[in-house]
Amino acid sequence: MRPRHRYLAVRLVAATNSLSEEAFRDGLWQQLQQLYGELGVSRIGFWIVIYDAASRASIIRCQHDQVRALRAALAAVTGIRGVPLLLYVVGLSGTISKAKTLIPGLESYKGRSRRGPR
């Protein structure tokens, strides 16, 4: 049976735009790992589908039954790699295309959309 996913549309509030996708992904991974450990992170199924530094937005995928855990972890983030950062969830969706419509500026995003393995 194919796993069910949910997509969280997330806004980033930071003093700078200098946070790269790699730094964001690694920093968020470390935060999740500190909070839940490796087993917990694997259960969440965390994956950054879209990260757009210009619009300060991201779409993050997780397992459908782990949305609360991911939201709690995102709320606990106060900074990544020395950059003060606040993450807040704008909305939740079952599809990437609907999640894009939740954040103005991402509806027509044609950049690098990364889907994980099936």
Domains of the chain: 5-101 (3.30.70.3250)
Instruction: Read off the tokens for 3.
Output: 């796993």
Mean of the per-residue pLDDT values of the chain: 87
Q: How confident is the model at residue 118 (pLDDT cuts 50, 70, 90)?
A: very low
Name the DSSP letter for residue 94. S
- Which pLDDT score is estimated for 117? 45
pTM, two decimals, is: 0.86
Decide if 97 contacts 9 (C-beta within 8 A): no
| Residue in this structure with the two tokens 């709690």, named with its chain if needed | 72
| pLDDT tens readout for residues 11-32 | 999 877 778 889 889 989 999 9
Name the DSSP letter for residue 103. S
